[in-house]
């Protein structure tokens, strides 16, 4: 038996596992410390009642022979795909039900979609980047090119028409930087991908946080995207499903490479390797798109947006450069006093008992930066910012 040696090329731990490991060690040595976690983007507000009522009702359905559900369609129940189709219509995007695939989350689909792609493809990823794009391709041994995202390009790298690539990862609003592409910028990417016959894997997990009208919610708002893009989205951040697990992927029927339909390939892959998301979870997901569900999600989102404002205001008062927090729940800040990302992580944990995510964990251009999430509780976020101000304020 031979193992996949590409795993040797990965860092020892996945970024958020490494963060959790260091926090656990600190907590063991300081059991009295009240650690505030603004590291991994995990939500804290409870799921709105109408959504959980739908799940409870679905659980009840399973106890009666006439409403019992066994295996469901691997690509998701029609009732949920229909809600998703209508949701996309609110952005002016027309999809067929066949193009929508329900899954247990964007992270799994982003990794699983690589089953469809030959190893001999060149992959373009931004740096800094959500580590899943990089690590899943390292696991497969694909060639990865990095595009520099930095203060000069407002962390929104644009295509280089001279560069030949096959697969392009874009995440907008961006994790980790919070930067978001405008319609015009995405149109440039779509034109480039079509011209190169490349495929854009577009991560829209944070679309519900968009506030600016010129920032598209979906890449399919851009003419030409149907022939070059796949979109991954999730209810984790939109509706608080980080624990419940439900996402969706849109593969256009017009996306064809080497004479093969990627939609058909994805259907084949999913029907072979996946048995679908549970019925109660899909009922809950469908309720997210009801009027009450949307209101409940918006209420929670306002809590996170206020957290983002508190973080941003604190950093502003401390004179710490930062971006994000407007169209996204992440704030991307420069580490104070010229510290490296991990040095600041340790310093902040030791002195303020606050956890964030080191920018260098997202790529080498993230070195010297740090990510804070707005998904904490309002009380925790305020206290974390008071501690940050005490530790890194000028008067100390």
Q: How far is the CB of 115 from ligand MLT (least distance, A)?
A: 19
- The answer to whether residue 175 forms part of the interface with ligand MLT (CB under 6 A) is yes
DSSP β-bridge partners for residue 147? 126
CA 127 to CA 292: how far, in whole Å?
39
Nearer to ligand MLT, 110 or 167 (CB): 110
Nearer to ligand MLT, 40 or 139 (CB): 40
Closest CA to 377 of 52, 26, 42: 42
> Residues 310, 314, 319, 325: what is their CA dihedral angle, to the nearest 10 degrees?
-20
Collapsed DSSP state (helix, strand, coil) of residue 339? coil
- The answer to whether residue 20 forms part of the interface with ligand MLT (CB under 6 A) is no
Q: How far is the CB of 242 from ligand MLT (least distance, A)?
A: 7
Q: How far is the CB of 364 from ligand MLT (least distance, A)?
A: 18
Nearer to ligand MLT, 222 or 233 (CB): 233
CA 392 to CA 338: how far, in whole Å?
12
**Of 72-91, which residues contact ligand MLT (CB under 6 A)?**
none
Nearer to ligand MLT, 37 or 326 (CB): 37
Position with the least CB separation from ligand MLT: 41
Q: Out of 35, 40, 191, 339, name the contact with ligand MLT by CB under 6 A.
A: 40
CA angle, residues 74, 79, 80, in degrees to nearest 5: 65
Total residues binding ligand MLT (CB under 6 A): 6
- The answer to whether residue 41 forms part of the interface with ligand MLT (CB under 6 A) is yes
**Of 230-249, which residues contact ligand MLT (CB under 6 A)?**
236
Collapsed DSSP state (helix, strand, coil) of residue 217? coil
Count of C-beta atoms within a 10 Å radius of residue 302: 11
Q: Out of 107, 142, 226, 326, name the contact with ligand MLT by CB under 6 A.
A: 107
Listing DSSP states for 278-313 in one string gives: -HHHHHHHHHHTSHHHHHHHHHHHHHHHHHHHHHHH
CA 173 to CA 361: how far, in whole Å?
19
Q: How far is the CB of 73 from ligand MLT (least distance, A)?
A: 25
Contact predicate 371/356, CB 8 Å: yes
Contact positions toward ligand MLT, by CB under 6 A?
A: 40-41, 107, 130, 175, 236
């Amino acid at each position: 038996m031979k193992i996949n040696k590409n795993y040797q090329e990965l860092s020892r731990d996945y970024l958020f596992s490494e963060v959790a490991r260091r926090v656990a060690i600190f907590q063991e040595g300081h059991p009295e410390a009240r650690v505030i976690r603004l590291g991994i983007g995990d939500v804290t507000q409870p799921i709105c009642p109408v959504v959980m009522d739908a799940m409870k009702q679905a659980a009840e359905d399973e106890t009666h022979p006439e409403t019992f559900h066994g295996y469901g369609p691997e690509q998701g129940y029609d009732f949920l795909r229909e809600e998703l189709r209508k949701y996309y219509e609110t952005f002016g995007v027309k999809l067929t039900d066949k193009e929508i695939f329900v899954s247990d989350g964007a992270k799994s689909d982003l990794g699983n979609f690589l089953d469809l792609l030959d190893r001999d493809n060149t992959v373009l990823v931004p740096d800094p980047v959500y580590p899943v794009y990089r690590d899943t391709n390292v696991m497969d041994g694909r060639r990865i090119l990095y595009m520099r995202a930095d203060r000069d390009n407002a962390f929104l790298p644009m295509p280089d028409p001279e560069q030949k690539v096959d697969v392009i990862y874009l995440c907008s609003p961006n994790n980790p930087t919070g930067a978001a592409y405008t319609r015009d910028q995405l149109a440039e990417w779509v034109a480039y991908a079509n011209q190169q016959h490349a495929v854009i894997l577009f991560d829209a997990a944070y679309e519900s946080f968009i506030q600016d009208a010129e920032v598209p919610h979906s890449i399919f708002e851009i003419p030409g995207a149907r022939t070059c893009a796949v979109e991954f989205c999730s209810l984790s951040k939109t509706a608080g499903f980080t624990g419940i697990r439900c996402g969706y992927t849109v593969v256009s029927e017009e996306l064809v490479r080497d004479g093969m339909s990627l939609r058909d390939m994805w259907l084949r892959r999913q029907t072979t390797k996946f048995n679908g998301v549970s019925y109660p979870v899909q009922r809950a997901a469908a309720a997210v798109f009801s009027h009450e569900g949307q209101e409940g999600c918006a209420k929670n989102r306002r809590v996170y947006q206020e957290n983002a404002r508190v973080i941003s205001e604190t950093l502003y008062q401390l004179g710490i450069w930062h971006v994000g927090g407007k169209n996204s729940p992440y704030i991307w800040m420069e580490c104070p006093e010229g510290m490296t990302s991990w040095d600041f992580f340790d310093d902040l944990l030791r002195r303020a008992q606050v956890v964030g995510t080191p920018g260098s964990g997202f790529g080498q251009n993230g070195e010297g930066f740090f990510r804070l999430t707005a998904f904490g509780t309002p009380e925790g976020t305020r206290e974390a910012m008071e501690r940050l101000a005490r530790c890194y304020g000028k008067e100390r």
